[in-house]
Structure 1
Amino acid sequence: MYFSIIVIPLVSTFISGFCGRWLGRYGASMFSSSFILVNFFLSLLIFFEVNICGTSTILKVSPWVSSDLLVTHWSFLFDSLTSTMLVVVNSISSLVHIYSIGYLNEDPHTPRFMSYLSIFTFFMLILVTADNIIQMFVGWEGVGIASYLLINFWFTRLSANQAALKAIITNRVGDFGLSLVILLSFLTFGSLDYLTIFSLAPLFELYEITFLNLTFNYFSVFGFFLFLGAIGKSAQLGLHVWLPDAMEGPTPVSALIHAATMVTAGIFLIIRFSPLLEFSPFTLMILTIAGSLTAFFASLTGVFQSDIKKIIAYSTCSQLGYMMFSCGLSHYNLSLFHLSNHAFFKALLFLAAGSVIHSISDEQDLRRMGALAPILPLAYSVFIIGSLALAGFPFLTGFYSKDLILEITQVFRNQNLFFFGTMSCVFGNLAVFFTSFYSFRLLFFTFLNSTNSTRYSYSSVVESTTFISIPLVLLAFLSIFAGYLSKDFFVGFGTPVWNNVIFSFPNHLYFIESEFIPPFFKWLPFIFSFLGFFSALFLNTQKINFLFYKLAFFVNKKWYWDSFYSRFLIFPLLNFGLIVSFKTLDRGFIEITGPYGMMQVVPKWALLTNRLQNGQLTQYTFFFVLTLVSVFSFMFLKLTSLYFFFTLLFFI
């Protein structure tokens, strides 16, 4: 069972990819969806065995790297963290597979798409089940390659090509950080296995690294590179630029990337390495700062977007900020709780948006929608549920994790810890306001306002098919009840599930103190949510378009991050490549001394040699005598120099 859950998506990939020509569109889709659905039920059994029965498992398959210095196996670790991620990944992946049957019902390349989805799931399972860093890195790189293939699925579109390249190149920065983590682990611990590294970590608390006569704490350096790897995949501020552009792929791709696979890999990495990060206050500080700024930045940027999928993409970026600064506050299980909750309501929002887009002839601009609630009642209903869960409406899934994160920030703020409390508290609550604002703005523009589409387009809108509706209904139920049902499991007092997986110092945990903060601060996220709703309602009904015009323009341009990278990074590199690398080195020095130079020299040398061979006996005799004289002269000079050398040596 444990090994099957890894192999099944790979088998699904080969069947859909290589046999799709004979299975057909529906055959490949049904095969692929059935395989991933079986994988989901297996993940439920593993969850029961590991988390409920308390039987963690390590499955060693075969040796991989065996040398005097390093021994690494292909092996899989099934602990409580892995089993939880298996349920999240396989549940969302199975629903996305089923949804894709209806969404791509007219696409002739559906088998290829299903193959890409399955290989994406396979590499994500490799990532979460690995028991050593280098095997995890295989899954890490695999999800990057699979995301490139999925974003670029419609490869005839230039925008899809550019978005896929942007995603994979931006993530190379994070991959560089993670590769340094691997080297540091081997340098210090002599091993890449999680259990070995985590057990030895307390012995290296005061260990230092010297570089260029500068001394750094080992765990600070290790944590910084780990953070660099995480922000690439999880799209934190600075390396977030690929995430909105990834919307160029089909909507099921967006749901899978944003809800359960690629963007959550960075958060999973941070949670997995909690036994090391706890020894580095510096790393916890930068996690808190980066997460807080990302939550605020992405939520404010989403307010001024007009593409329905990009608004939800910035929402994902904002929610990842919550998870990141929750890890910075050392509440890793709370971050994992929000990760699992977010997977359900974010997948619901993306798939509901895809249902709307699919129904109105692939239109994504909010300004060309409106009045769709009477025509698309199911999409409207589930969109309301997803938006309320995202905004943290009481007793829905997002409420239980997001409000608890903000209550924890209140405790840190009351203890006068600026970085660990005040910043995360202020930016976290402001993000709640903007999240509520753009969520309801999205509802108004899409379903409630007067329509801006043509009469023909509006009259041709119909509700989606059964394959699209079933995942929406299931995700709607999970978005309502999953948070309530799983709260005690993730953050309940006395739960022993995370004792051997997630490590936090006791003086870093404030679950009990968060229960006794003043009631006003407990109600603060709810107040901000309603303020966001009423602001969206007021601005929508009053049609105030001139409010904060310059700020709106600045934020609508994504704070000019893309422009900044283009002007100060991309263009200088391109100019260097053209002028220095290409024209000066490649076409200049290398060509002249290499192929082009040889091509010019060889004919000239051949012509000179040809002129010397003119058939005159006197000239041949001259060259023969000249050669003999030269040889004898050289031998004479050599003997003379040896004679003087030995004479000098004798007198000395």
Structure 2
Amino acid sequence: MYVALILLPLAAAIVAGFLGRVLGDRGSQFVTTGAVGLAALLSVVAFFDVAVYGNATTIELFTWIRSGGLDFAWALRIDALTAVMLIVVNGVSFMVHLYSIGYMSHDPHKPRFMAYLSLFTFAMLTLVTADNLVQMFFGWEGVGLASYLLIGFWYKKPSANKAAMKAFVVNRVGDFGFSLGIFGVFLVTGSVTFDAVFGELGNVAGTTIDFLGMSLPTIEVLGVLLFIGAMGKSAQLGLHTWLPDAMEGPTPVSALIHAATMVTAGVFMVARLSPLFELTVFTSDMITVIGASTAFFAATIGLTQTDIKRVIAYSTCSQLGYMFFAAGVGAYPAAIFHLMTHAFFKALLFLGAGSVIHAMSDEQDMRRMGGIWKLIPVTYMMMWIGSLALAGIPPFAGFFSKDMILETAYAAHSTVGAYAFWMGIAAAFMTAFYSWRLLFMTFHGKPRADKHTMEHVHESPLIMTVPLFLLAVGAITAGYIGQPMVDAGLAFWNGSIAMLGEHNILEEAHHVPGWVKLLPLVMSAAGIGLAWLFYIRRPDLPGKVASDFSGLYKFLLNKWYFDELYDAIFVRPALWIGRVLWQGGDRRIIDGFGPDGIAAVSLGLARRAGRMQSGYVYHYAFAMLIGLALIVSYFFFGLEAGW
């Protein structure tokens, strides 16, 4: 069953990718959606078998690499952590596949798109079922490749090509750190298999390693390098710039990348390697600070964006920050709990946004929307449910997981924990504000689209709204279903997550002061109220605030100028160096003295020889005489001289 669960999406991707012309559009959609749907059903069975009944298992398929001391198999590690991820990945992926049948109905390359979706799903399944670091890295790079293909699916758009390349390159920066971390783990433990590595960590703790000319704690070096990989894949502050640009891909791609798969890989990796991160101090504090800073930073940018998909994309970036600072303070179950709930309501928001774009004739700018809630009531209702879950309003799923994260940050009773708590509180306020800003600008007020667009506004077909309903059910109920993940502590996880501290932070989170539990809800309500004031009661206020605080507004609108900074520091110098090497090194030296130089000399000699072909017989006779004279001279004088 577990092997089929993993290989079904791969088989579907191969069939649709190579036989798409034979199967046709409908056949490719049926094969890929059916395969992922069956995998989703098997994931539910696996969840009950492993997470509920405790039948964790590891299935060794074959020996993958055996070279010297490096010896490991391709094996499927099916434990409670994997079971939760299987539900999330396959469940959301199935909804995206189903939704894509309607959303991509006018695209001429449906088989290729569906094949890419299934390939992406297989790569993520490979990542979450890996039993060793190299196998995880295989899936890690697989989702990177598939995301490149999906973001740049509309390859005739220059912006899509640039976004795909940007995602690929930025992720390679993080992946380089991840690969160094894998090398380091093998160097100090002699293995890359998780159980063997975890068994050696006690001997590694307290030792030092020479790194970059310094003698540093081994466990901290490994932790930082591995976390750098997570920063790239999960778009944390500094390596986040690829995430908003990924919106250039089709909307189902945005839902798949930003909800359940690629961006959550880093959070999963930190949870999987929790035995290692539990032994770190500096790295855990680093994870907490970067996660909290990302949550705040991304939320500030979401306040000013006007593209409906980019607002939700920065929301994803912010929510990932919550997950990381939860992991940083040691509350890994809370991080995975929020990962699960977030997958449902964020996929709902993205697919709901896609329904809006579909209704508005591909318009994505919220400034050109408004006044459409009565025309697309189903989408409107779904967006409300997703926004309520995102803002953490009870009884929706986000309320349970986000509040648990904030409570654990407070319960950490540390400087970085306090920093994460207050950054999370500020982000909660901004999240509610920009979520309802999106709702009010998109659905309420006077219509701002042209007459032709408004005449064609229509509700999406059932093939698109049914996945919205199913995801809405998850956005409502996932908090109740997943609560045992944190209430039962480590008992639910059955060894798949390690928490080695003296105190159970999940238990302490239940005993924080009442105002800590109430404050996130108050801030969310305040954010919703302020959005109502700005965009319903006094729609003139946003323009006045933007004008009065124009410097701050431009700073946020331009995303803290990270792209411009990276362009000045990395892109332009790299282009200048490349241009110098191209013009000076390649063209002038290599080509100049190499093929181009030889060709020029040959061409010059040929032209000179060509001038000798005058067409007059006496010229040729004269040349023959000169040649004969040279030959005779050679025999008479050259041989005597020993030439």
1:177-196 equivalences under 5 Å are 177-196=177-196
Counterpart amino acid of 2:83?
A: S
Cα distance in 1 between the residues matched to 2:471 and 2:193: 36
Match of 2:506 in 1: 511
Partner of 2:39: 39
Secondary structure in 2 matching 1:546? helix
Matches within 5 A, 1:467-478: 467-478=463-474
- The alpha-carbon deviation at position 39 of structure 1 amounts to 0.4
Q: How does 1:272-351 map to 2 (within 5 A)?
A: 272-351=272-351
CA distance in 2, matches of 1:310, 1:383: 15
Tell me the SS of whatever aligns to 2:59: strand
Is 1:112 matched with 2:108?
Answer: no
Which residue pairs with 1:546 in the alignment?
544
* Distance of 2:630 and 2:311 partners within structure 1: 86
The one-letter amino acid of 2:419's match is: M
How far apart in 1 are the matches of 2:423 and 2:317?
Answer: 14
Output one character per residue of 1:509-566: Cα deviation in whole Å (capped at 9) or x when no partner.
3222222222112111011101101111111122211212221111001111111111
Does the CA-based 8 Å contact 2:330-2:505 persist in structure 1? Answer: no
The amino acid across from 1:265 in the alignment is A
What CA distance in whole angstroms lies between the structure 1 residues aligned with 2:122 and 2:444?
Answer: 40
- Alpha-carbon shift at residue 506 of structure 1 (Å): 2.6
Query: SS in structure 1 opposite 2:87?
Result: helix
Aligned equivalents of 2:556, 2:314: Cα separation in 1 = 12
**Structure 2 CA distance for aligned equivalents of residues 107 and 604 of structure 1:** 55
Deviation at 1:621, TM superposition (A): 4.9
1:25 aligns with 2:25: yes
Identity %: 46
Q: Secondary structure at the match of 2:216?
A: strand
Contact 1:180/1:225 (CA < 8 Å) preserved in 2?
yes
CA shift for structure 1 position 612? 9.7
1:619 and 2:620 aligned: no
* 2:518 aligned residue (517, 523, 530): 523
AA aligned opposite 2:269: L
Q: Take 2:260 and 2:509, find their aligned partners in 1: how far apart are those partners? A: 28
Return the letter of the residue paired with 1:209. I
Q: Which amino acid aligns with 1:493?
A: A
Aligned length: 621
Q: Are 2:94 and 1:94 equivalent residues in the alignment? A: yes
Secondary structure in structure 2 of the residue aligned to 1:191: coil
Cα 1:614–1:6, aligned 2, differ >3 Å: closer, same or farther? farther
State whether residues 126 and 136 of structure 2, in contact with CA within 8 Å, keep that contact through their aligned partners in structure 1.
yes
- Whole-angstrom distance in 2 between the partners of 1:604 and 1:473: 76
Of the three residues 477, 480, 483, the one matched with 1:484 is 480
Partner AA of 1:442 in structure 2: L
Please give the alpha-carbon distance, in whole angstroms, between the structure 2 residues aligned to 1:534 and 1:484.
27
Q: Report what 2:617 is aligned to.
A: none
Aligned to 2:359: 359
Matched, 1:465 2:461: yes
1:228 matched to which residue of 2?
A: 228
Distance 2:284 2:73 in 1: 31
1:14-413 to 2 correspondence within 5 Å? 14-211=14-211, 213-412=213-412
Q: Is the 8 A contact 2:397 2:479 kept in 1?
A: yes
- Code of the aligned partner of 1:418: T
Of 233-242 and 548-557, the range deviating more from structure 2: 548-557
How many angstroms apart in 2 are the aligned matches of 1:503 and 1:612? 92
Structure 1 residues 518, 594: closer, same or farther in 2, change over 3 A?
Answer: same
Higher mean Cα deviation, 466-475 or 183-192? Answer: 183-192
Instruction: Provide the rounded CA distance (Å) in 1 between the counterparts of 2:404 and 2:294.
Output: 19
446, 451, 456: which is aligned to 2:442?
446
CA contact (8 A) 1:330 1:508 kept: no
Where does residue 455 of structure 1 map in the other structure? 451
Distance change in 2, residues 1:479/1:594 (3 Å): same
Distance in 2 (CA, whole Å) between partners of 1:246 and 1:625 is 81
Alpha-carbon spacing, 1:62–1:612, altered in 2? closer, same or farther (3 Å): farther
Q: Which amino acid is the alignment partner of residue 619 of structure 1?
A: Y
Partner in structure 1 of residue 415 of structure 2? 418
> 1:626, 1:61 → 2: CA distance?
80
Report the equivalent of 1:558: 559
Please list the CA deviations of residues 53-110 of structure 1 after superposition, one character each: whole Å capped at 9, or x if unmatched: 2122111111221122211222211111111111100000001111111111122211
Correspondence for 2:429 among 421, 430, 433: 433
How far, CA to CA, are the matches of 1:96 and 1:359 in structure 2? Answer: 18
Distance 1:454 1:279 in 2: 59
Q: Distance in 2 between matches of 1:99 and 1:110?
A: 13
- Whether the 8 Å CA contact 1:329–1:508 is kept in 2: the answer is no
Partner SS, residue 584 of structure 1: helix
How big is the alpha-carbon RMSD for the aligned residues of Structure 1 and Structure 2?
A: 1.9
Q: Give the letter for the 1:429 counterpart.
A: I
Judging changes above 3 Å, is the alpha-carbon distance between structure 1 residues 158 and 200 closer, same or farther for their aligned structure 2 residues?
A: same
- Once residues 489 and 212 of structure 2 are traced to their aligned partners in structure 1, the CA distance between those partners, rounded to angstroms, is 47
Q: Which runs of 5+ in 2 are unaligned?
A: 610-623
Amino acid at match of 1:269: M
- Would the alpha carbon gap of residues 212 and 517 (structure 1) be closer, same or farther in structure 2, given more than 3 Å must change? closer
Contact 1:330 1:509 survives alignment (8 Å): no
Structure-to-structure mapping, 1:586-625, within 5 angstroms:
586-599=586-599, 615-625=630-640
- Whole-angstrom distance in 2 between the partners of 1:103 and 1:34: 17
TM-score in terms of structure 2 length: 0.93
Which amino acid in structure 1 is aligned with residue 513 of structure 2?
Answer: P
SS at match of 1:244: helix
Q: Is the 8 A contact 1:436 1:529 kept in 2?
A: yes
Amino acid at match of 1:138: F
- The C-alpha deviation readout for 1:327-366, integer Å capped at 9, x for no partner, is 1101111100000000000000001111111111011000
In the aligned structure 2, how far is the partner of 1:235 from the partner of 1:613?
80
Task: State how far apart, in whole Å, the 1-side matches of 2:344 and 2:171 are.
Answer: 25
User: Residue 499 of structure 2: SS of its match in structure 1?
Assistant: coil
2:105 and 2:82 map into 1 onto residues whose CA distance is 34
SS at match of 1:71: strand
Question: Distance in 2 between the 1:244 and 1:368 partners?
Answer: 20
1:633 aligned residue: none
**Structure-2 separation of matches of 1:282 and 1:487:** 30
Q: TM-score, length-normalised on structure 1?
A: 0.92
Deviations along 1:368-398, one digit per CA (max 9) or x if unpaired, are: 1111111111111111110010000022100
Alpha-carbon distance in 1 for matches of 2:592, 2:106: 55
